[in-house]
Structures are given as C-alpha cells and as structure tokens.
Structure 1
Amino acid sequence: MGERAGYRRSAGSARGEARRRELLDRVTDDLGVNGLVDFSLRRAARAAGTTHKVLLYHFDGPEDLLTQAVLQLRERRISRSMAAAAEALAGPTLAARVQAIWPILIGEESWVLDQAIGLAMYDPARYAELARNASKQYLPSLFSLCPEHWPDDRKLEVAEMILGTLRGFLVEWRTSGDGPGIQAGFNALVRALDREEAAP
C-alpha cells in the first residue's frame, strides 16, 4: 500500500524500469545544469525528450520526480567524493580523506543541492525528504572514511561531526563567499580530526 503509483506502473517489467532510469538520468542531467528554480513537469519532459504524461506514468507527480532527481544528483556527488577519498588513501588519515572530498562538495552541482536543502527548509510540508535524505545518503560514506579499528559508535559520532561541520561550511560558502574564512575553519576541522585519530 505504501508504494507510489508511478513505481507500481513502471516496475512491472525490466523494460519499464530501464525506461524509468533513462528518463530520470535525463532529468537529473538537466537539474545539474539548470537548478531547481522553475522546475516543472513541462521542463522535465523537454529535458527527457518525452511528454509530461509519460513522466506521470513513471513518477508520482512533479515533487516525486524532483526528489528522485535530487537524490540521484547527490549520489553522483557522493560517488565522486568517495573516489577522491580512495585516491587519498596513499596518505591514509581521516583528515586527508576529508580534505580530498571537500573540492568535490563545493564543485559542479553543489549550488543545485544547496537549493534543494533551501527548498526543504522553505516548504517542509512538500520537500522535507530532500533534507532528511541528505543525511541518510552522506552519513554511511563519512562513516566508511573513519579508521576501521574504531568502534561503530565512535565512527558515527565523528561522521556526524564531519557532516554538520561541512554542511555549515557549504552554507557559508553559498551565502557569504568568504573563501579565506571558510578555509581557516576547514583547517581547524583537519587539525581536530588529526587529534581525534591520534587519541586512544
């Protein structure tokens, strides 16, 4: 009963699911370039090369489509971040890994994902999931960056600290543009992570 109607319609066959993924990829690409402002089924249909009726067959309305596209855009960002962190394993400290993901977090589609959080704050009745899902998506990756020998509760605490701090830096980046100030704060985070990793 809890499944969305669009998913029930498109999940009946491998072909239907493949078509749904193809449409979502195209809408996500458009979102990454043009942002959330003026997002509509008409714009999404144009980007996907189809009609709004086809989109409504595969998705449960414009809010559902927008949410799924934001989630996919965020997953792309996380994948690139984790790839950058993996390359940093040559200097295998938590601080080095966090330093490696920061350029990804402030690059390319960061402004669109910041818009998504703003939309969730502005209209939580419709878009609260955009914010709640952000934490659900990022925490496992940040958790995985922590030293393997740490107990899970310590990993979660530090992952939460990193997420909250980086989110604050991203808001500051978007609102003030104070690059030197943000860098100074980021340097302090790196020192804090070095101390945390050195602690017993």
Structure 2
Amino acid sequence: MVDVSADQGPAARTGYRRSAGTPRGEARRRELLERVTEDLATNGLVDFSLRRAARAAGATHKVLLYHFDSADDLLLQAVLRLRDRRIDNAMIAASREPDSRTLASRVRSLWPVLTGEGSRTLDQAIGLAMYDPERYAELGRGASQQYLPSLLALCPEHWDGRRKLEVSEMILAVLRGFLVDHRTSGDTEGITAGFEALIRALEREEAAGP
C-alpha cells in the first residue's frame, strides 16, 4: 500500500541533518510539507513513496531527507497536517450550526466535513495503522490525540471532565466506525440510520442534566 521501505536507508547512511532551528529551514520545511500534504489529499496513500513525495514537492529525495527524519516521518507529518485542516474545518462548521447550543447539533454538523476533502487519505491512514501497527501505530494514536480536544470543547461547559471525556471518546469511536463503513461498504442508508441514533443518544445525554 505504502512503499517507503526502500527509502529508509539513505538518511542513515549519509547522515542528512535536519533543518529545524533556523527560520529559513523551518520555512522551507513547511513549504515542502504543504506540497506533499496536497499530493496526499488528492492521490491518497496508495503507492506513496519518498520519490513520489519528492516529485510532488518539486525537490529531490535527498532534500526531503534533509528536512525530515525519514519517509515515515514525512508521511506522519503530512497526515497530521491533513487532520489539522479537517479539525479546523469541523470546528468552523460546528460554530456556524444554526442551533449550535447543543452537542447533538454540533456533532451533526461534523459529518459533511469528516467525509469531505482529504477524507479518503485519512481513512487510509487509520487502515495503515491497523494493517501494520508496529510501524504505523502513531497514525492511529495521533488521531485520538488530535480529535479529542476538539470534541471535549464541543461538550456542554457545565459537564465535569470525566463526563466530557466519556462522551467524547464515544463520539470519536462511533464516528470512526461510520467512516470505515462509509469507505468500505457504501451502505449510505445504514450509516445514516446509525448516525441519527448517535444524535438521539447525545440528545438524551444532554437532557439528563448535570
């Protein structure tokens, strides 16, 4: 699925140093990452390699290994960048929801964003973490670490921390399941029914009071 194994050696053999620490180096690193991220958003993770990333970035693989630890590091950073974009767009959508006072309405507004730009790549990233957890576990762990703070922020302010965390974990797990189903089964009717059940569960949770 992702061919980066052949690209791991050069960094170790030649000792390319990272560019972190200088404004110019950081600016160049961000530029390269943005270009690779755009390629992933458009073309997904299938057949991703350092050479493909170099073509997308308009650079050589040696340049990329100067700015990133390895091909896996570049892949991880690009996936994190895509998730940041999706989270930003989701929070904007939640704030624009006409009835944004309730958690249920906020969560309802997330679905179009979760299945929008870059969703195929991010779903593939979770699949990669499941396929090869020893190598790509951070792709899965990173998802929870990135999404949970935003879900916690959507919960009612008067809830205590434990309740917010429990409900947020439930939302994350259920939506992740729906996204996998959306990508693999195409059962739109079943996903819609399940999503509406989630919304009703959140409405009951809020109605239960503090």
Q: Report TM bin, short chain.
A: over 0.9
Return the alpha-carbon distance in structure 2 between the equivalents of residues 178 and 139 of structure 1: 27
TM-aligned CA deviation for residue 61 of structure 1: 1.0
Q: When the two structures are aligned, how many residues end up with a matched partner?
A: 196
Distance 1:176 1:112, change over 3 A: same
| Cα deviation code 1:116-160 (max 9, x no counterpart) | 111111111211100010000000001100001111111001000
Return the alpha-carbon distance in structure 2 between the equivalents of residues 121 and 170 of structure 1: 15
TM-aligned CA deviation for residue 108 of structure 1: 2.1
Return the alpha-carbon distance in structure 2 between the equivalents of residues 178 and 55 of structure 1: 40
Which residues of structure 2 form unaligned runs of 5+?
A: 1-11
1:71 aligned partner: 80
CA RMSD of aligned residues (A): 1.6
- DSSP-derived class of the 2:97 partner: helix
Distance 1:7 1:172, change over 3 A: farther
TM-aligned CA deviation for residue 91 of structure 1: 3.7
Length-normalised TM-score, structure 1: 0.94
Counterpart check, 1:130 vs 2:172: no
Distance 1:89 1:135, change over 3 A: farther
Counterpart check, 1:141 vs 2:150: yes
Q: Is the 1:89–1:97 Cα contact (8 Å) retained in structure 2?
A: no
Return the alpha-carbon distance in structure 2 between the equivalents of residues 108 and 22 of structure 1: 20
Which residues of structure 1 form unaligned runs of 5+?
A: none
TM-aligned CA deviation for residue 7 of structure 1: 11
TM-aligned CA deviation for residue 179 of structure 1: 0.4
- DSSP-derived class of the 1:12 partner: coil
1:43 aligned partner: 52
Q: Is the 1:10–1:17 Cα contact (8 Å) retained in structure 2?
A: yes
Return the alpha-carbon distance in structure 2 between the equivalents of residues 160 and 20 of structure 1: 33
Counterpart check, 1:54 vs 2:83: no
Counterpart check, 1:112 vs 2:107: no
Distance 1:34 1:113, change over 3 A: same
TM-aligned CA deviation for residue 8 of structure 1: 6.7
2:173 aligned partner: 164
**Between the two proteins, what is the percent identity of the paired residues?**
72
Distance 1:133 1:91, change over 3 A: closer
Q: Is the 2:17–2:66 Cα contact (8 Å) retained in structure 1?
A: no
Return the alpha-carbon distance in structure 1 between the equivalents of residues 16 and 193 of structure 2: 46
Return the alpha-carbon distance in structure 1 between the equivalents of residues 194 and 91 of structure 2: 22
- DSSP-derived class of the 2:186 partner: coil
Length-normalised TM-score, structure 2: 0.90
Return the alpha-carbon distance in structure 2 between the equivalents of residues 183 and 14 of structure 1: 47
Distance 1:99 1:8, change over 3 A: farther
The residue identity in structure 2 corresponding to 1:198 is: A
Q: Is the 1:45–1:52 Cα contact (8 Å) retained in structure 2?
A: yes
